[in-house]
Amino acid sequence: MSARPAAGTGEDPGAAAARLTGRPVTGRRPLSATLTEVTLDGGQTVMVKRGDGPGAAPAEAAGLRWLADAGTVRVPVVHGHDRHWLVTDQVPVGRPSVRAAARFGRDLAALHAVGAPAFGAPPPDGPTDAYIGPAPMRNVPGSEWPRWYAEQRVLPYLRRAVDDGTVRHGEAEIIERACERLPELAGPAEPPARLHGDLWNGNVLWGADGQAWLIDPAAHGGHRETDLAMLHLFGCPHLDRVLDGYQDVAPLAEGWADRIGLHQLFPLLVHTVLFGRGYAGQALTAARAALAR
Residues recognised as catalytic: 198
What is the spatial distance between Cα 200 and Cα 133, in angstroms, rounded to a whole number? 11
CB atoms within 10 A of CB 170: 7
- Helix or strand run (H / E) with residue 110: helix 98-114
Buried b / exposed e over 59-95, threshold 16 CB at 10 Å, is bbbbbbbbbbebebbbbbebbbbbebbbbbbebeebe
What type of residue sits at position 287?
Answer: A
Mapped onto helix, strand or coil, the DSSP state of residue 288 is helix
Mapped onto helix, strand or coil, the DSSP state of residue 53 is coil
Residue 286 burial (CB < 10 Å; 0-12/13-18/19+)?
buried
- Contact between residue 270 and residue 135 where contact means Cβ atoms under 8 Å apart: yes
What does the angle CA 116 – CA 85 – CA 72 come to, to the nearest 5 degrees? 30
Query: Between β-strands 204-206 and 129-132, what pairing exists: parallel, antiparallel or unpaired?
Result: unpaired
What is the spatial distance between Cα 96 and Cα 9, in angstroms, rounded to a whole number? 38
Mapped onto helix, strand or coil, the DSSP state of residue 92 is coil
CA-to-CA separations, 52 to 6, 7, 30, 168, 291, in angstroms, rounded: 10, 11, 16, 28, 35
Query: Between β-strands 85-89 and 78-81, what pairing exists: parallel, antiparallel or unpaired?
Result: antiparallel
